[in-house]
Structure 1
Amino acid sequence: MSPPTSRRVGRPRAQERPASGLPPREEVLAAAAELFTAHGYTATSTRAVAERAGLRQASLYHYFDGKEAILAALLEGTVRPSLEMARELVTRAGTAAEARLWALCHSDVLLLCGGPHNPGALYLLPEAQTERFAVFHQVRAELKAAYGELLEDTEPGAAMTAEELALRTDLVFGLTESVILIRRADPARGARALAAATADAALRVAGVPQRSLARQRREGQRLLAAWR
């Protein structure tokens, strides 16, 4: 009878890395966005995120100190680029505020709808509403304030009372973020068509007359083309 063979036990191997070509940190964020939106934040473990990203769980902690930090990065990633753009648009001279507002709405919608996992849907997670993500809420509030500044600079905005301006700002900002629900209900909806339609609608909510809309849209499109 031959002696039993000993089985060599080594370190467990990670799953095969996805073929996305993303750096590991971005791979973790993409995996987490997919799992958080599909299964919820509470039901998703860091182990599941690591496995989906093709990493060992220990490797994930090289990039993030836990699940909360991952969600914070995802949430802030849906709003910081828009805030940076808004700050430049608010101070930009030589272009009508209506066109700048159109460009911001269009860009913001594309960001919220970007990627295959509808990242804006993370706003709908109950955990995202808590004080644990205060930085996200602060950045989002600053973005909304920038919308208000652009709206005030429009011709209709200049004639509004403070109360009217606050209401129109709420409506325009809420309209922009409403694409989150539209995309969740219809993931196949084209993001660019949705962005253009939302930006047009935002100007109408802002009080821009229909006769001016096509001109402001063209100016907004030129702004976005120059931005790229």
Structure 2
Amino acid sequence: MSTTGRRVGRPRAQQRPDSGLTPREELLEAAAELFTTHGYAATTTRAVAERAGMRQATMYHYVAGKEELLAGLLESTVAPSLVLARRLLSDGTASAEARLWQLCRSDVELLCGGPHNLGALYLLPEVRTEAFSGFRQVRADLKAAYGQLLAATEACGGLDADELALRTDLVFGLIEGVILIHRSDPGRPPESFAAATADAALRIAGAATRVAGWPRAG
């Protein structure tokens, strides 16, 4: 039995400083960098493995391939917002307008935060294939949560189903639209436009923005 205290596993192609990440997390980090800088189609599994400091054969011990890595990265841009949305839906201590504003701001910061513009991966044609149905379902669940919060606002409470669906499409489209802004100006801190985007979403909902007691950025 080993007594060296080193992590047991398949051998790496090169020695790398211990990042504290699991091998799968290292692969996801490598994939995020390569997919967003070189493109998904142009990135090989060998390149991902080498960027993570392991052999290509070793990579398949942790993931099935590029599709699984892309799916994991895509879901990481949606799942935290869905968790927040469900918590906000069950929170009766704040107005629906305030909760919607908070979700919009947080969602923008998630989509545009981090060292890599993962939101830009939404634009890949591969995302429309069956391999990414899990991501699309989580995204649909998040959109439905937006719709529920909109329906609970004073301005949207009396809308019929078609009008509410339109408002939901507009708000959700606005939030995801920041992906293009971030791609054209990656140096702009997400915090600088997250609150403004949330304000715009509330205008679409028909509510005044920044009323007393609403959350602020920061």
In the superposition, the TM-score normalised over structure 2's length comes to 0.89
Aligned position for 2:6: none
Partners in 1 of 2:16 and 2:46 — Cα distance?
15
Change (3 A) 1:16 1:124: farther
Preserved CA contact (<8 Å) 2:98 2:215:
yes
Aligned position for 1:51: 50
Structure 1 residue ranges without an equivalent (≥5):
1-11
Question: 1:138 is aligned with what amino acid?
Answer: Q
Aligned position for 1:139: 138
Task: Return the index of the structure with the highest Cα Rg.
Answer: 1
**1:215 lines up with 2:214 in the alignment:** no
Partners in 2 of 1:88 and 1:125 — Cα distance?
30
Aligned position for 2:3: none
Give CA-to-partner distance per residue, 1:147-188, whole Å, 9 cap, x none.
000000001011222111111100000000011100101100
Partners in 2 of 1:18 and 1:190 — Cα distance?
29
Give CA-to-partner distance per residue, 1:125-161, whole Å, 9 cap, x none.
1111212100111110010000000000001011222
Partners in 1 of 2:97 and 2:153 — Cα distance?
6
Aligned position for 1:69: 68
- Aligned pairs for 1:1-228 (under 5 A) are 14-17=13-16, 21-209=20-208, 213-215=209-211, 218-221=213-216
Give CA-to-partner distance per residue, 1:34-57, whole Å, 9 cap, x none.
111222222111110011112222
Larger helix proportion of the pair: 1
Structure 2 residue ranges without an equivalent (≥5):
1-10
Change (3 A) 1:26 1:38: same
Superposed CA RMSD in Å reads: 2.1
For residue 62 of structure 1, report the CA deviation from its aligned partner. 2.3
Partners in 1 of 2:23 and 2:193 — Cα distance?
31
For residue 18 of structure 1, report the CA deviation from its aligned partner. 6.4
Change (3 A) 1:206 1:74: same
Preserved CA contact (<8 Å) 2:12 2:53:
no
Preserved CA contact (<8 Å) 2:16 2:53:
yes
Aligned position for 1:9: none
Question: 1:64 is aligned with what amino acid?
Answer: V
Task: Indicate the SS of the match to 1:156.
Answer: coil
Q: Percent identity among equivalent residues?
A: 65
Give CA-to-partner distance per residue, 1:202-222, whole Å, 9 cap, x none.
11111112xxx2236x5334x
Task: Indicate the SS of the match to 1:141.
Answer: helix
Provide runs of 4+ in structure 1 moved above 4 Å. Answer: 18-21
In the superposition, the TM-score normalised over structure 1's length comes to 0.85
Preserved CA contact (<8 Å) 2:63 2:69:
yes
Change (3 A) 1:39 1:86: same
Preserved CA contact (<8 Å) 2:104 2:201:
yes
Partners in 2 of 1:122 and 1:73 — Cα distance?
11
For residue 17 of structure 1, report the CA deviation from its aligned partner. 2.7
Partners in 1 of 2:12 and 2:171 — Cα distance?
49
Task: Indicate the SS of the match to 2:214.
Answer: helix
Partners in 2 of 1:56 and 1:71 — Cα distance?
19
For residue 92 of structure 1, report the CA deviation from its aligned partner. 1.1
Preserved CA contact (<8 Å) 1:14 1:56:
yes
